[in-house]
Amino acid sequence: MLLLDGKAVAAAIRAETAEEVKTLTARIGRKPGLAVILAGDNGPSQTYVRNKERACAEVGIVSETLRLPAHTTQDEILAHIRALNAREDIDGILLQLPLPGHIDSRPCLECIDPAKDVDGFHPVNMGRLLLDMPGLRPCTPAGVMELLKRSNLRPAGKKAVVVGRSNIVGKPLAVMLGAKNAQANATVTLCHSATPDLASICRDADFLFLAMGQPETITGDMLKPGAVVVDVGISVTDNGLRGDADFASLRDRAGAASPVPGGVGPMTIAMLLHNTVQSCTARCLKC
Ligand code: GUN
């Protein structure tokens, strides 16, 4: 079985991004800037944000994190976003999800300037993805597509099954896989919690993408022999971090699989850095 080594692929992307940042910085006279808003004290979010800060520093992107208390109001978050929208030195704005329960994420995501929406969650960027227009793409599904490409795996003409229909991963990934281009062109089935007989649909997949966030749910007997499995799930369990796949039982059946950790996770952050360079370039050089 081929191991889809997201850690190594992400390191290569970060090295390329660092070169792009160097060139861009020389041209515009400042470094690209990313602002992260972290409201509340969600444990995994604190870790993600620290990892993003470290990755930015490594490639020469200036990052600043607004750490806000859990009782911050929606209006206060909107005011912070509007201030960041207006700043020339900020190219990317990332609102870390989930937000505290009393805040509706939708108006907050919609308040971010689409040109600075490095998460690709704004309705304008989601619409651009659906319509195959250029735009900022959500980092995790973009990272999955890049991991396939750089591992020389092509879903074109194959049956792709996506399990999980979140706005962050499942829905945009299904659109990317079905897009009309040589790196995509898959026939896509999107499964979710109301899908009957999930196992038989998974068994029909040449490419299986797991994004439901239920640890070790998909087992080797649910796979077509030789299938490519990309595991986007990441759950904290008593045994450590686990993906949606029962990795041990896949080994003898899958043709390729991504591990958790070290698979899709590092790719997400690499694509965030890439998106920040893309938005900085578009804002400063193409206007
Ligand atoms: N929470 C979990 N994944 C993500 C992500 O990709 N972006 C943001 N903003 N929040 C998240």
Would 11 be classed as within a structural domain? no
CB atoms within 10 A of CB 215: 18
Distance 224 CA to ligand 1 centre (A): 31
Residues 155 and 257 in one domain: yes
Under a CB-based contact definition with an 8 Å cutoff, are residues 69 and 99 in contact? no
CATH classification at residue 223: 3.40.50.720
Residues 153 and 104 in one domain: no
Residues 171 and 78 in one domain: no
Would 201 be classed as within a structural domain? yes
Residues 92 and 153 in one domain: no
Would 159 be classed as within a structural domain? yes
169 touches ligand 1 (CB under 6 Å): no
Domain of 73, in residue numbers: 29-114
pLDDT of residue 286: 73
- In DSSP terms, 188 is beta-bridged to 160
pLDDT of residue 287: 56
Ligand 1 closest atom vs CA 45? 1
Long-range contacts of 76-84 (CB under 8 A, 24+ apart): 77/37, 77/39, 77/103, 77/108, 78/107, 78/108, 78/111, 80/37, 81/37, 81/108, 81/111, 81/112, 82/111, 84/35, 84/37, 84/116
Residues 223 and 187 in one domain: yes
Residues 79 and 158 in one domain: no
35 touches ligand 1 (CB under 6 Å): no
Q: Report the number of distinct structural domains present in the chain.
A: 2
Residues 159 and 254 in one domain: yes
Would 119 be classed as within a structural domain? no
Distance 124 CA to ligand 1 centre (A): 18
Residues 260 and 164 in one domain: yes
Ligand 1 closest atom vs CA 139? 6
Torsion of CA 162, 150, 22, 141, to 10 degrees: 0
Nearest to 114 by CA among 105, 126, 106, 102: 126
Distance 187 CA to ligand 1 centre (A): 27
198 touches ligand 1 (CB under 6 Å): no
Closest residue to atom 8 of ligand 1, CA basis = 96
Closest residue to atom 4 of ligand 1, CA basis = 97
Would 259 be classed as within a structural domain? yes
264 touches ligand 1 (CB under 6 Å): no
Cβ-based neighbours of 156, under 8 Å, separated by 6 or more: 182, 183, 184, 185, 186
Residues 258 and 146 in one domain: yes
Ligand 1 closest atom vs CA 268? 6
pLDDT tens for the chain, residues 1 to 287: 999 999 999 999 999 999 999 999 999 999 999 999 999 999 999 999 999 999 999 999 999 999 999 999 999 999 999 999 999 999 999 999 999 999 999 999 999 999 999 999 999 999 999 999 999 999 999 999 999 999 999 999 999 999 999 999 999 999 999 999 999 999 999 999 999 999 999 999 999 999 999 999 999 999 999 999 999 999 999 999 999 999 999 999 999 999 999 999 999 999 999 999 999 999 999 75
Would 38 be classed as within a structural domain? yes
Under a CB-based contact definition with an 8 Å cutoff, are residues 83 and 68 in contact? no
DSSP state of 99: P
Residues 91 and 165 in one domain: no
Residues 146 and 98 in one domain: no
pLDDT of residue 3: 97
Residues 79 and 174 in one domain: no
